[in-house]
Amino acid sequence: MPEPRGDVQSRLQMHRDYWDRKDLAHPLVAFRITPDFFLSRNYHAAHHLLVPGKVILPEMLVVDDFLPDYERMYQESEDIGQDAFFTAEPYISIPWMEAMLGCEVTAGDASFISRHYLTSPDQLEKLELRADNPWLEKYLEFAAKLVKFSEGRFPIGQPILRGPVDVAGALMGQAEMVMAMVDEPELMRKAFLKIGGFLRTVDTKMRELVPPFHGGEALGFYHVWTPGRCIWYQEDLATIISPDMYDDFLREPERNICQGCQYTFIHLHPAAFFILDNLLENDFLAAIQVNKDVGGPSVPEMLPKIRRIAERKNFVFWGDLTLDDIKCLRENLSARGLFFFTTADDLDHAKRLLDAVRAW
């Protein structure tokens, strides 16, 4: 069976040490070669779908057409000589959970969006995820074909599967969701639990198709290898509720999502740093991932928050990190528990960034 190039066992041990929060010579680093953050366009097979207003149906995604894109990205990641293992996910730009739960998916010129359709919060109680759901079937088709295509060279992981508050907001509208949390709190608590259960169902069905990768798994989208079971989720709409509401409504659903998985993390934007205290107290979260957002705070501005995370949890930093960013982090943090996933314009750019990280 083919294997990734390079010293595989050394890379695996680095990941084990990362999760064990041991001292590292330098942070682990992964790369994505892409001209911008619109990763939809990084898949040539999807270009014909990126027509503003075009309604996307699952049968429009021809998995075999995407395989050359995965091969190209795999080869790029190995050519860089990065620490991480390229991880293939069902096409990362589809809002999978929202589509599976009934939202219409439409295209823009650079991404895909879902349109809410529920008109009252009580409709959340009637949601179901059947085994013959066409979007679920397409998701699992991606997983099965990627396993066969990989031939053991790279792991298969989950793409973005949004968490309970994000999915509820997508299904019924963001303002409507917040008002329902105020007016129908018990109904919404049950709905968030139900949506979290759907996420675990999707994860379980995919896990049945995906074999271990060198005895472990991988967190998709971020390409972090884990020695055991893993899962990640995001709650971007936490930015429109208070920290107290976050704990009240989402602590139990998120704990259920993470149950049985030792290697867990949540995706976070700097705009949601106000829930950081909540997240640092969550014993079911092993890591916190933070974006360097376009137009958001700079790395020096985020440094106090990053330091707080790194002191308590494993940290994953995603974005277009620059040489100055890496220098700032190197001068202010130890490498323990740090993982960077950075975009780069081309192979030479990636290698310059890699050299800067390895000079830690």
pLDDT confidence of residue 103: 97
**pLDDT the model gives residue 39:** 79
pLDDT at 60 over 80: yes
pLDDT 10s digits, 268-282? 999 999 999 999 999
Q: Does residue 81 contact residue 21 with C-beta atoms inside 8 Å?
A: no
CA pair distance 31, 340, nearest whole angstrom: 8
Beta bridge partners of 216: 213
Q: What percent of the chain has pLDDT over 70?
A: 98
CA separation for the pair 67, 145 (Å, rounded): 9
User: What number is the average pLDDT over the span 69-77?
Assistant: 95
Q: Which residue has the higher pLDDT, 40 or 294?
A: 294
Quick one: CA dihedral 237, 240, 246, 252, positive or negative?
negative
By C-alpha distance, which of 150, 13, 84 is closest to 342? 84
343: left (phi over 0), alpha (psi -120 to 50) or beta: beta
The residue ranking higher by pLDDT, 38 or 66, is 66
Tokens encoding 106: 């439409």
Res 266: pLDDT: 94
pLDDT on residue 165? 96
Go through the domains of the chain in sequence order and give each one's CATH number. Answer: 8-358 (3.20.20.210)
CA dihedral 8, 13, 14, 15 (to 10 degrees): 90
Q: What is the pLDDT of residue 1?
A: 45
Nearest to 101 by CA among 2, 43, 28, 172: 172
Q: Which residue has the higher pLDDT, 39 or 54?
A: 54
pLDDT tens-digit series, residues 215-271: 999 999 999 999 999 999 999 999 999 999 999 999 999 999 999 999 999 999 999
Tens digits of per-residue pLDDT, 296-339?
Answer: 899 999 999 999 999 999 999 999 999 999 999 999 999 999 99
**Is the whole-model pTM more than 0.75?**
yes
Place 4 in a pLDDT band, splitting at 50, 70 and 90: low
Q: In what order do the strands lie in the sheet with 112-115?
A: 55-56, 104-107, 112-115
pLDDT at res. 42:
86
Mean residue pLDDT across the chain? 94
CB 360 within 8 A of CB 334: no
Query: Per residue, what are the HEC states of the chain?
Result: CCCCCCCHHHHHHHHHHHHCCCCCCCCEEEEEECCCCCHHHHCHHHHHHCCCCCEECHHHCCHHHHHHHHHHHHHHHHHHCCCCCCCECCCCCCCHHHHHCCCEEEECCCCEEEECCCCCHHHHHHCCCCCCCHHHHHHHHHHHHHHHHHCCCCCECCCCCECHHHHHHHHHCHHHHHHHHHHCHHHHHHHHHHHHHHHHHHHHHHHCCCCCECCEEEECCCCEEECCCEEEEECHHHHHCCHHHHHHHHHHHHHHHHCCCCEEEEEECHHHHHHHHHHHHCCCCCEEEEECCCCCCCHHHHHHHHHHHHHHCEEEEEECCCHHHHHHHHHHCCCCCEEEEEEECCHHHHHHHHHHHHCC
pLDDT score recorded for residue 37? 67
In angstroms, the CA 239 to CA 14 distance is 34
What confidence tens digit (pLDDT) does each residue in 170-216 have? 999 999 999 999 999 999 999 999 999 999 999 999 999 999 999 99
